[in-house]
Structure 1
Amino acid sequence: MKRFVFLCLLFMVFSPILAQQNVTFQENFFNNNRFKIDGVDADAEEVAHVMSSFELSQKNFIEGHKQMKIGSGLNILGMGILVGAFVTYGVSGFTQEGLSTYLILSIAGAGVGTVGGAIRRKGKSRVETSVAEYNYLIDRSNYNEISLQVAPDKFGLVFNF
């Protein structure tokens, strides 16, 4: 009987710790995404797999990550158009015809870069929100448990919902 009680207590103490997998999200200097699951580096697919128990958070994470990639691509494309416009203007010998082409390309590049930045920010917001929501739901789900509490003269089971 003592072994059974000991094993039950051991299981109740360590089961929330083993089931909980916190996810963190941060970006490095070059705006590359870095995810960690319980402090261990992971890629987006692993994070999406861990989030599979909460479908809405997983869906928001996957879509937000795609938005971040698309936004980054558009942002880089916009910068490329701006650089190309300046090079084209320099190759034309800084003439009036070259200036009009430069202005048109510059406006197009700035527009593409601005749209890309907005898409990336929206995706980043979705990823951060889904990671925070997942961590909250994981922490909250650990409170739905049965625990044994012991007082000096009493002991009993406590149900937390």
Structure 2
Amino acid sequence: MKAKRPQDTFVVMSELILPNDTNVLGNLMGGRLMHWMDIAAAISAQKHCNCPVVTASVDNVSFSNPIKLGNLLTIEAKLTRSFNTSMEVYLRVWGEDLTAQYKYVSNEAYLTFVALDPNGKPRKVPELIPETDEEKRMFDGALRRRQVRLVLGGKMKAEEAGELRALFVKP
């Protein structure tokens, strides 16, 4: 299994925000955005492992700026780290008022995916090799984020979270 780089998993997806995508205030509905984010992240994960994937978790999704009716939505996604059968994908969402030529960050999130074999069982994924300083920073942080997810999801005991031990265990 050949290792890959984060840039090999990079995905850009754009949508024009239409009336059916918005709430009564003319803002993009959060559920619609999360649907598109899930698609972009899944494509990024599939580019890494070359097989079907399923969403395992979605980290906090906070909306810092609404995306308005008529604006352009752009989602950028790429892997930050691969583990045994799972992959963490980082997403940044932009809104853009094309008329005013103004681009702004709407939100960011991390989604985790699990690769599946032909029988629908988890399968091993290739190693991810970060290259840039930013990719290395995101790669290092991914282990801590993973441990937080596992502890909060009840799949790991706090005492077992080596990277987070100081947060959970009294000296």
TM-score range normalised by the length of the shorter chain: under 0.3
* Structure (1 or 2) with the larger CA radius of gyration: 1
Structure with greater strand percent? 2
Q: What TM-score do the two structures reach when normalised by structure 1?
A: 0.21
Structure with greater helix percent? 1
Q: What TM-score do the two structures reach when normalised by structure 2?
A: 0.20
